[in-house]
Amino acid sequence: MRADTGSHWNVCNMFRNKRNFKAFAFILITCVIYLCIKRMLYNTYSPVLFNSCNITALDPWDESLRPFLKKPLRLPCEEKYELFYFRSDGQLYMNTSVADKHGLELSTQECWFQVIRRMDGDLLLKMLPRQQLQLPMEIRGHIFRVTCNECGNNITLYDMAHFNPFFNEYAKRDSKIEAESARKPSIIIFGLDSVSRSHAIRNLQKSYAYLREKLQSDDLEGFRKVGENTFPNIVPLLTGKSQSWFPHIFHLRMHTDSMPLLWNESPAATMATFFAEDRPDISTFNFMKSGFKKIPTDFYFRPYTLAMNEFEPVFGKKLGKPTWDCYGNRNHFEIEIDYLKSFLQKYNKKRKFAFFWSNQVGHEHFTSVSRGDEPFLDFLRWMVSETDMRNTIFIVLSDHGFRLGGASLTHIGRAENNNPWLMIHVPESVTKTYPKLRTHLKENSKHLVTHYDIHQTVLDAMHGRGFEDKTLVPTKQYVVPRNVFHPIPDDRTCLDAGVDEIFCTCVDTEPLDVHSSLVQSLANFIIKHINKIIYNPSNTCSRIMLLNITEAKVEYSKKDLQNLHNYVFKNSSEEFTRSLDQDTGRYTIFINTFPGSGFFQGTVDFMSIGKAASLEDQMTVVGEPIRLSRYGNQSHCVDDVKLKTLCYCTDLL
């Protein structure tokens, strides 16, 4: 009783404090408003989201893309092998052929190693005291640095970061990991940023062919993105939820450990887990976010990427500061693949979950991903010949197509942006045990599929419940994550699939004259909307103005009277209906702005009410305007994800 009384007294005291009461009231009111708005939005979804999708494959060789299909420059880093390597006995050795190639002789050098440890969080590393290197030897650290000086002087001949797959101070004990089987397979997700299905067919021809012919992978043509860039697509893939579920991550910048990521699911306790992502500056959970406080998976690539940038690499000579393409003489993409190889070798025939994500190979330029074709093909061949894949599901996918500048500004380029790459290899052991799985997967390759569905598929497979035949669940008026090994309705809608309205492709559009007065009004309305977003009293961001309109299109939906079902009037006279039919619809406008040479896509719902109802026309921006051109350092003065793509800093005027 005393404890209860004391507790009640504390609550009462809290409300006697006006500041605490106001804070509590504010939070309560905010939550109520949020729930009301959410409910209102649910009740006023655009008819576009209810339209079933007719999946039509895009032409990868569309004529409009020809000016952009240029072979990328070769990278200066093409060394295939490291100077040091580990054998299966867990000992470190020197690769003498590589040493001879670079004119290095170990007997004339003094070498040391330093174990590199991750500090508290995702940002800092600590170098432990250096120890003499005497080959062969065991290195008791997952990440380490090797430095070699010429005997008798301080001339550094070698200085590089390495990883050790045989010792991992962060991994769970091997005895905790169960064997893989047809019912409980391993799952490997190999992700490439900014690669549409068409992009893969054009630029990864050898890898694509190997996946289709050797691995018998299914190519899911109806795969669609659910958000604008990487984060809003990867979050549904790894958690099954929209990014809006995690405001504490996105806005308050709390650590991401608490997110229900696939490697945090209960089956992962008996699986070896892996997460690798390059580009630590823009990585999914670290760009304008706080990342992980604790190591998230057994094998975690980020500490190694940070270590590579701690010091300038040396191999016979100084090799210059690392770039995002090259670490010394080696390509970053191949180094990341080597890290995955070491994981797959270490846990061969053991149950594992791996999420590999490469940003750099496809992110920066329209055709740069073609440089990854040979390394990816080599990896696929290695995986087939050197690992046991009889109980491994292999998924290759992307978040979206190429998104910024160049070909993405063309009509077909924008269509490709919504159609990321997805291929799935299911081993014969699984398809023999569950014969209907193959039939469903092939049928679903022509249906609308999203990142939510891949999450559900992987989650079911991790729990060992993903393959038994299921009855078809009809299309719903809310998001239904669907296992691609089970039937998916052919009349599926964007709403059922979790695709945001602005990215929904399940509707036919008509081109418009960019000089029409209506299109001009809509473009200026988008400009006004952007200026409202970026305005602040200190004038950090410059107001933007319309330079010109490059393209406009409209989507009409069933007389568009549905757009008005919550509006204030109920007049359905023939005159009123005819007025609505003329212009009412969803308009997508592409505009150039200044200053900053911005190129934006904006979507506006327009209700042509006009004189027939003696009311003003109604315009509503759908979602937020999307930046399609690069912005570089133009928004350096703001530190907000939303403003970064919109702001042109006034100090640049």
**CATH number for the domain including 384?**
3.40.720
Q: Are residues 520 and 555 in the same domain?
A: yes
Question: What's the confidence (pLDDT) of residue 306?
Answer: 96
- pLDDT at 5 > cutoff 50: no
Q: Are residues 456 and 478 in the same domain?
A: yes
Span 93-115, pLDDT tens digits: 999 999 998 888 877 889 999 99
- pLDDT at 153 > cutoff 90: no
Lowest mean pLDDT among 109-123, 415-429, 448-462, 563-577: 563-577
Span 574-601, pLDDT tens digits: 444 434 446 778 899 999 999 999 999 9
Q: Are residues 196 and 255 in the same domain?
A: yes
Calculate mean pLDDT across residues 131-135. 94
Side chain identity at residue 95, one-letter code: N
Q: Are residues 453 and 399 in the same domain?
A: yes
Is residue 226 within 8 A of residue 503, CB to CB? The reply is: yes
Question: What's the confidence (pLDDT) of residue 47?
Answer: 57
Calculate mean pLDDT across residues 23-41. 47
- pLDDT at 33 > cutoff 60: no
Question: What's the confidence (pLDDT) of residue 613?
Answer: 44
Question: What's the confidence (pLDDT) of residue 560?
Answer: 42
Calculate mean pLDDT across residues 148-164. 92
CATH number at residue 616: 3.10.450.10
Helix (H, G, I), strand (E, B) or coil at 150: strand
Average pLDDT over the chain reads: 87
Lowest mean pLDDT among 59-73, 213-227, 295-309, 387-401: 59-73
- pLDDT at 569 > cutoff 50: no
With cut-offs at 50, 70 and 90, classify the pLDDT of residue 310: very high
- pLDDT at 382 > cutoff 90: yes
Domain for residue 181, yes or no?
A: no
Query: Across the strands, what pairs with 585?
Result: 606
Q: Are residues 458 and 517 in the same domain?
A: no
Q: Are residues 419 and 527 in the same domain?
A: no
Say how far apart CA 484 and CA 541 lie, in whole Å.
45
Calculate mean pLDDT across residues 82-89. 94
Lowest mean pLDDT among 177-181, 252-256, 334-338, 340-344: 252-256
Q: How far is CA 397 from the centre of its chain?
A: 10
Question: What's the confidence (pLDDT) of residue 53?
Answer: 81
The bridge status of strand 218-219 relative to strand 422-425 is: antiparallel
Last residue of one domain, picked from the residues 460, 475, 503: 503
Domain interval for residue 419:
188-295+359-503
Say how far apart CA 429 and CA 414 lie, in whole Å.
39
Say how far apart CA 602 and CA 523 lie, in whole Å.
8
Of residues 16 and 628, the one with the higher pLDDT is 628
Domain for residue 590, yes or no?
A: yes
Domain for residue 66, yes or no?
A: no
Q: Are residues 410 and 279 in the same domain?
A: yes
Q: Are residues 496 and 515 in the same domain?
A: no
Q: Are residues 498 and 532 in the same domain?
A: no
Domain for residue 122, yes or no?
A: no
Percent of the chain residues past pLDDT 90, beyond the cut: 70
Domain for residue 207, yes or no?
A: yes
Span 268-281, pLDDT tens digits: 999 999 999 999 99
Is residue 505 within 8 A of residue 418, CB to CB? The reply is: yes
Q: Which of 386, 385, 429, 491 is nearest to 180 (CA)?
A: 429
Q: Are residues 562 and 494 in the same domain?
A: no
C-alpha dihedral sign at 279, 282, 283, 286 = positive
Last residue of one domain, picked from the residues 503, 536, 561: 503
With cut-offs at 50, 70 and 90, classify the pLDDT of residue 537: confident
Question: What's the confidence (pLDDT) of residue 2?
Answer: 35
With cut-offs at 50, 70 and 90, classify the pLDDT of residue 609: low
Domain for residue 211, yes or no?
A: yes
Last residue of one domain, picked from the residues 481, 503, 525: 503
Q: Are residues 528 and 473 in the same domain?
A: no
Domain for residue 550, yes or no?
A: yes
Total domains present in the chain: 3
Domain for residue 135, yes or no?
A: no
Q: Are residues 385 and 272 in the same domain?
A: yes
Lowest mean pLDDT among 40-54, 223-237, 329-343, 509-523: 40-54
* This model's pTM is above 0.85: no
Q: Which of 87, 96, 82, 95 is nearest to 165 (CA)?
A: 87
Calculate mean pLDDT across residues 322-342. 96
CA distances from 564 to 54, 215, 506 (A): 26, 51, 21
- pLDDT at 528 > cutoff 90: yes
Question: What's the confidence (pLDDT) of residue 55?
Answer: 87
- pLDDT at 37 > cutoff 50: no
